């Protein structure tokens, strides 16, 4: 397969005005007619190149005449009509087979319904078309189908006409007044019911909001609808952005490759991010719904009104829109907890990506399959880059930049450079050095060195940045790093800051690190302070600094910056566990984690602190996270043993405190979804997860499972039973499955819990569960729940020494690649970190990668992942 280079971009030589689509849906095929008006940009006649994949082309007409065979060349995915006049109308007729489309890309059957996923390159599987984001057109879409089977026919924009087509068939015509690229096209033909609400925009536009779901799910749409309304209001208030049509539709499907898709006025969503009821969805699910509903809505401006020139610019819309949804959630819920969750996620998913064979800058330079670049780097790291603009320019300056960006580019397909230019010009600053964040991959390491001068009362802070070479780039340059820092007295008081002679407002200074190494002098200090570093995670970097345990204890107890406080607890916990890993490896005796114990006791006693923050701080780093932090080879079993030992020790020594907090938080109040309640539940369930390891705690877990009225509490209890192999776990799993058998989303949770049970033998359970009637390799949610969770969240299971986990995963990648290459490629990425393991495991992983690579008919998606991993 060929790779596509960013540097090879050339504009499309034709302008499109109007596209008229006619889609006739039949049981065993669908007929698509596309009429497109072309106008040559140069004014000269020329060749029209179109993308076409898996299309049975019936006819091609140019200005009403059938085009002779010798004027058409078809090569691979490309179809060229030679020598077309400078203005012309091309009509293509094609037959497609959505009913047999298991890749879930283009038009596909999902249960009883048909729907589309066109981003990034799915439209070419529907009709011959210049399927690239910089080609925009106005669409009129007529859908015709059997009325009984497909009572609901939807596309983008407004419904302009409908009627009877005879033979039990009907038709609907939709017109979207906004020019859009083909990836934002959507079509739905199905049997859905809907719930409706309304929103009046700031300028008085009445918008009808609808959520379409399968019959029986209407009682689970309230939160999604409320989130949509909140998102619409928030975007007006915070960004001054108003919705631009009279209609906004969301359709939920249980068969979807991604989370959701922002098609103009017709979002298509994974049911996972729509359906929620307290007894079926956890607090985390609710948060996910709010975030994704917001995300897709925010795309209407950042993505749809201003879109990407080419797919290398994906972060232009995704990084920016993730930043916007993060801010939305932060403004709606607890900002501190939201930040911590996002940062933990970035480190768990993006840092390893950047350290592995798929390392790429947020704006990649080349790809084989663009589907492989919907990554944590493009999305989450991209969002932290946007956040850095925000940190550097402030809210006002950032919003000035956004206004200029829309003023210049509304209705255009642009680049990351255009965004940067708008930010720079609106603020009259030079951001040329900052642009390196778009071009350079890898996670910078900032080493912090401090020198205390007691006589002068000054602290000299030296920051040194270095980005290790990555798989894709050997040489690295210094980046512009906003490095936020605060100082605490030994007693934990925030100190006033004077940096290089200038007094700082507030208790946080943002040091601007632009060179490889820079020093800053803090003056006016009475005693050697405790530095609080990289506050609010002001840049996507790793910080090296030798904290003493006493310093960490001070930060854990007192830091006013929530991220830094949580981070100190994570550092202490990770340091403690990794020390034990080393002790175990040397055959020594494990020691009780005294410093951690004291710090955690202090957190549990701090009744003023937000319970949600305490919960985050008391949560030990995951085994995957610890593996990433480990120097040298990842000691899979050592990490598990050391972490379990630490959990047990903490549970024993903190038992009475944990029980006291648990009891106080378990107030029997019925479920409600508000920040305070979420916070209480999260701390209660963290307490429970420790208590489960004590003799008296098992009873508590069972009691909670039996008496709770919501999925958050129910799942927390079930999880403890299964993960820690407690008495009654098999029965509880069976009861749960019996109760929720008909509920696909709840059964996903049931699969996940079993897939992540630690242990070398879990692979056997997972193989067995693939035979469960509710599992299907064709459904991406099921694949992610069972196989994905096992490979990504269960180190002792996946890395079982006999290699069974690896063999299992490779078998599934190969089988799934024939069904759904996008999802298969995601799974294959679980092998990416093979160089981090011991020789026998490395060899086994490489052998499985090679077995996948040798498979006949491998997709480009999987090919790119495994060939990079083996390279």
* Closest distance to Zn ion from the beta carbon of 296 (Å): 7
- Name residues contacting Zn ion, limited to 304-363 (CB under 5 A): 318, 321
How many other C-beta atoms are found inside a 10 Å radius of the C-beta of residue 607?
9
* Closest distance to ligand DPP from the beta carbon of 231 (Å): 13
Q: What is the 3-state secondary structure (H, E, C) of 817-831?
A: HCCCHHHHHHHHHHH
**In this complex, which beta carbon is closest to ligand DPP, that of residue 295 or of residue 680?**
295
**In this complex, which beta carbon is closest to Zn ion, that of residue 318 or of residue 861?**
318
The token pair at 107 is: 């038009």
Q: Which helix (H) or strand (E) holds 180?
A: strand 169-181
How many other C-beta atoms are found inside a 10 Å radius of the C-beta of residue 32?
21
Pick what 260 binds: Zn ion, ligand DPP, none; C-beta below 5 to 8 Å, kind-dependent. ligand DPP
Dist. CA 716–CA 724, nearest whole Å: 12
Which residues face 703 on adjacent strands? none
Which residues touch 454 (CB under 8 Å, ≥6 apart)? Answer: 528
Please name the residue that has the structure tokens 């008495």.
727
Pick what 666 binds: Zn ion, ligand DPP, none; C-beta below 5 to 8 Å, kind-dependent. none
**In this complex, which beta carbon is closest to ligand DPP, that of residue 382 or of residue 401?**
382
* Closest distance to ligand DPP from the beta carbon of 224 (Å): 15
* Closest distance to ligand DPP from the beta carbon of 190 (Å): 19
**In this complex, which beta carbon is closest to Zn ion, that of residue 116 or of residue 321?**
321
Pick what 261 binds: ligand DPP, Zn ion, none; C-beta below 5 to 8 Å, kind-dependent. ligand DPP
Q: Using DSSP, state whether 169 is helix, strand or coil.
A: strand
Which residues touch 372 (CB under 8 Å, ≥6 apart)? Answer: 358, 825, 861, 864, 865
* Closest distance to ligand DPP from the beta carbon of 260 (Å): 5
* Closest distance to ligand DPP from the beta carbon of 370 (Å): 11
Pick what 848 binds: Zn ion, ligand DPP, none; C-beta below 5 to 8 Å, kind-dependent. none
Pick what 235 binds: ligand DPP, Zn ion, none; C-beta below 5 to 8 Å, kind-dependent. none
Dist. CA 784–CA 787, nearest whole Å: 6
H helices of 150-276, in order, are 222-239
* Closest distance to ligand DPP from the beta carbon of 326 (Å): 13
Residue nearest to ligand DPP (CB): 261
Terminal Cα distance for the chain, rounded = 15
**In this complex, which beta carbon is closest to ligand DPP, that of residue 108 or of residue 563?**
108
**In this complex, which beta carbon is closest to ligand DPP, that of residue 22 or of residue 295?**
295
**In this complex, which beta carbon is closest to Zn ion, that of residue 115 or of residue 145?**
115
Give the single-character DSSP code of 474: S
Pick what 258 binds: ligand DPP, Zn ion, none; C-beta below 5 to 8 Å, kind-dependent. ligand DPP
Are 666 and 685 in contact by the 8 Å Cβ rule? The answer is no
**In this complex, which beta carbon is closest to ligand DPP, that of residue 256 or of residue 798?**
256
**In this complex, which beta carbon is closest to Zn ion, that of residue 321 or of residue 580?**
321
Q: Using DSSP, state whether 273 is helix, strand or coil.
A: helix
Pick what 189 binds: Zn ion, ligand DPP, none; C-beta below 5 to 8 Å, kind-dependent. none
- DSSP output for 415-472: -HHHHHHHHHHHHT---TTTTHHHH--S--EEEEEEEEETTTTEEEEEEEEE---BTT
Dist. CA 642–CA 795, nearest whole Å: 14
For strand 542-544 and strand 445-453, is the pairing parallel, antiparallel, or unpaired? parallel
- Name residues contacting Zn ion, limited to 120-179 (CB under 5 A): none
Pick what 119 binds: Zn ion, ligand DPP, none; C-beta below 5 to 8 Å, kind-dependent. ligand DPP
* Closest distance to ligand DPP from the beta carbon of 15 (Å): 25
Pick what 571 binds: Zn ion, ligand DPP, none; C-beta below 5 to 8 Å, kind-dependent. none
How many other C-beta atoms are found inside a 10 Å radius of the C-beta of residue 190?
22
**In this complex, which beta carbon is closest to Zn ion, that of residue 316 or of residue 769?**
316
Give the single-character DSSP code of 346: I
* Closest distance to Zn ion from the beta carbon of 309 (Å): 17
Which residues face 447 on adjacent strands? 464, 544
* Closest distance to ligand DPP from the beta carbon of 1 (Å): 23
**In this complex, which beta carbon is closest to Zn ion, that of residue 387 or of residue 643?**
387
**In this complex, which beta carbon is closest to ligand DPP, that of residue 103 or of residue 569?**
103
Q: Using DSSP, state whether 632 is helix, strand or coil.
A: coil
* Closest distance to ligand DPP from the beta carbon of 288 (Å): 13
- Marked catalytic residue, from 121, 214, 290, 296: 296
Which residues touch 442 (CB under 8 Å, ≥6 apart)? Answer: 354, 355, 359, 467, 468, 469, 470, 473, 476
Active site residue 290: no
Q: Which long-range contacts (CB under 8 A, 24 or more apart) does 227-233 make?
A: 227/289, 227/290, 227/293, 227/294, 228/199, 228/293, 228/297, 229/197, 229/199, 230/290, 230/294, 230/328, 230/332, 231/293, 231/294, 231/297, 231/298, 231/328, 232/199, 232/201, 232/207, 232/297, 233/199
- Residues binding ligand DPP (CB under 6 A): 119, 258, 260-262, 295-296, 318
Are 271 and 780 in contact by the 8 Å Cβ rule? The answer is no
- CB-neighbour burial class of residue 59 (10 A; exposed 0-12, middle 13-18, buried 19+): exposed
Pick what 354 binds: ligand DPP, Zn ion, none; C-beta below 5 to 8 Å, kind-dependent. none
Smallest CA-to-CA distance from 250 within 281, 294, 284 is with 294
> Is the N-terminal amide bond of 120 cis, ω within 30° of 0?
yes
**In this complex, which beta carbon is closest to ligand DPP, that of residue 261 or of residue 495?**
261
* Side-chain-facing half-sphere of 255: CA atoms under 13 Å: 22
* Closest distance to ligand DPP from the beta carbon of 862 (Å): 20
Smallest CA-to-CA distance from 628 within 346, 341, 319, 862 is with 346
* Closest distance to ligand DPP from the beta carbon of 296 (Å): 6
Q: 510 phi and psi, to 5 degrees?
A: -100, 105
Q: 343 phi and psi, to 5 degrees?
A: -70, -40
Q: Which amino acids are annotated catalytic?
A: 296
Residues near Zn ion (CB under 5 A)? 318, 321
């Amino acid at each position: 397969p060929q790779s596509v280079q960013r540097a090879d971009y050339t504009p499309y030589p034709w302008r499109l005005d109007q596209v008229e689509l006619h889609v006739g849906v039949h049981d065993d095929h669908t007929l698509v007619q596309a009429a497109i008006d072309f106008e040559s940009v140069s004014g000269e006649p020329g060749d029209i190149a179109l993308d076409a994949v898996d299309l049975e082309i019936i006819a091609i007409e140019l200005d009403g005449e059938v085009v002779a065979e010798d004027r058409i060349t078809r090569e691979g995915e490309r179809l060229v009509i030679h020598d077309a006049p400078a203005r012309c109308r091309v009509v293509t007729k094609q037959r497609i087979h959505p009913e047999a489309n298991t890749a879930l890309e283009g038009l596909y059957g999902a249960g009883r319904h048909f729907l589309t996923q066109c981003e990034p390159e799915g439209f070419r599987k529907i009709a011959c078309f210049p399927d690239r984001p910089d080609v925009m057109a106005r669409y009129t879409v007529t859908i015709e189908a059997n009325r009984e089977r497909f009572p609901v026919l939807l596309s983008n924009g407004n419904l302009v006409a409908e009627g009877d087509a005879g033979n039990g068939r009907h038709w609907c015509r939709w017109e979207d007044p906004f020019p859009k690229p083909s990836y934002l096209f959507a079509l739905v033909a199905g049997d859905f019911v809907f719930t409706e609400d309304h929103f009046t925009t700031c300028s008085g536009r009445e918008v009808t909001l609808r959520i379409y779901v399968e019959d029986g799910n209407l009682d689970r749409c309230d939160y999604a609808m409320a989130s949509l309304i909140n998102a619409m209001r928030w975007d007006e208030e915070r960004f001054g952005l108003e919705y631009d049509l009279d209609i906004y539709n969301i359709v939920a499907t249980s068969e979807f490759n991604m989370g959701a898709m922002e098609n103009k006025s017709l979002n298509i969503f994974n049911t996972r991010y729509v359906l929620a009821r307290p007894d079926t969805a956890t607090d985390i699910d609710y948060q996910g719904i709010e975030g994704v509903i917001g995300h897709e809505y925010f795309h209407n401006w950042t993505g749809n009104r201003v879109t990407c020139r080419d797919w290398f610019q994906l972060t232009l819309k995704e990084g920016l829109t993730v930043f916007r949804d993060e801010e939305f959630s932060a403004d709606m819920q607890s900002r501190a907890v939201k930040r911590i969750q996002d940062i933990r996620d970035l480190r768990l998913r993006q840092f390893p990506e950047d350290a592995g064979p798929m390392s790429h800058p947020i704006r990649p330079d080349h790809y084989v399959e663009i589907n492989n670049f919907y990554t944590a780097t493009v999305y989450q790291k991209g969002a932290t880059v946007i956040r850095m603009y925000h940190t550097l320019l402030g809210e006002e300056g950032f919003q000035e930049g956004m206004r200029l960006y829309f003023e210049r580019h509304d209705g255009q397909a642009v680049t990351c450079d255009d965004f940067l230019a708008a930010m720079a010009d609106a603020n009259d600053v030079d951001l040329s050095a900052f642009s390196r964040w778009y071009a350079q991959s890898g996670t910078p390491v900032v080493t912090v060195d401090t020198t205390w001068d007691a006589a002068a009362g000054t602290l000299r802070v030296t920051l040194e940045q270095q980005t290790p070479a990555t798989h894709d780039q050997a040489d690295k340059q210094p980046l512009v790093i906003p490095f936020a820092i605060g100082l605490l007295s030994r007693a934990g008081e925030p100190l006033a800051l004077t940096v290089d002679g200038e007094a700082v407002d507030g208790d946080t200074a943002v040091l601007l690190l632009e060179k490889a190494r820079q020093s800053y002098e803090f003056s006016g200090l009475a005693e050697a302070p405790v530095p609080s570093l990289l506050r609010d995670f002001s840049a996507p970097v790793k910080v090296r600094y030798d904290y003493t345990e006493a310093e960490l204890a001070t930060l854990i107890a007192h830091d006013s910056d929530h991220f830094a406080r949580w981070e100190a607890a994570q550092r202490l916990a990770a340091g403690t566990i990794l020390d034990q890993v080393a002790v175990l490896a040397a055959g020594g005796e494990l020691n009780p984690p005294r410093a951690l114990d004291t710090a955690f006791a202090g957190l549990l006693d701090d009744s003023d602190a937000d319970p949600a923050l305490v919960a985050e701080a008391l949560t030990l780093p995951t085994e995957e996270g610890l593996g990433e932090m480990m120097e040298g080879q990842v000691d899979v079993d050592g990490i598990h043993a050391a972490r379990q030992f630490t959990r047990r020790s903490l549970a024993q020594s903190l038992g009475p405190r944990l029980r006291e907090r648990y009891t106080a938080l378990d107030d029997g109040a019925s479920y409600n979804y508000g920040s305070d309640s979420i916070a209480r539940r999260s701390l209660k369930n963290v307490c429970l997860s420790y208590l489960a390891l004590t003799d008296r705690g098992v009873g508590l877990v069972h009691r909670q499972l039996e008496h709770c009225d919501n999925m958050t509490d129910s799942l927390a209890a079930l999880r403890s039973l299964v993960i820690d192999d407690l008495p009654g776990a098999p029965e509880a799993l069976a009861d749960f499955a019996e109760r929720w058998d008909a509920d696909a989303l709840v059964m996903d949770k049931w699969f996940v819990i079993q897939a992540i049970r630690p242990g070398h033998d879990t692979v056997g359970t997972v193989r067995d569960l693939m035979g469960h009637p509710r599992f299907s390799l064709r459904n991406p949610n099921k694949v992610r729940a069972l196989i994905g969770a096992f490979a990504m969240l269960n180190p002792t299971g996946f890395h079982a020494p006999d290699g069974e986990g690896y063999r299992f995963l490779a078998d599934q990648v190969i089988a799934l690649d024939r069904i759904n290459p996008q999802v298969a490629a995601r799974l294959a990425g679980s092998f990416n970190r093979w160089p981090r393991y011991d020789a026998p495991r490395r060899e086994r992983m490489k052998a499985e990668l090679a077995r996948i690579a040798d498979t006949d008919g491998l997709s480009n998606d999987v090919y790119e992942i495994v060939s990079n991993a083996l390279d």
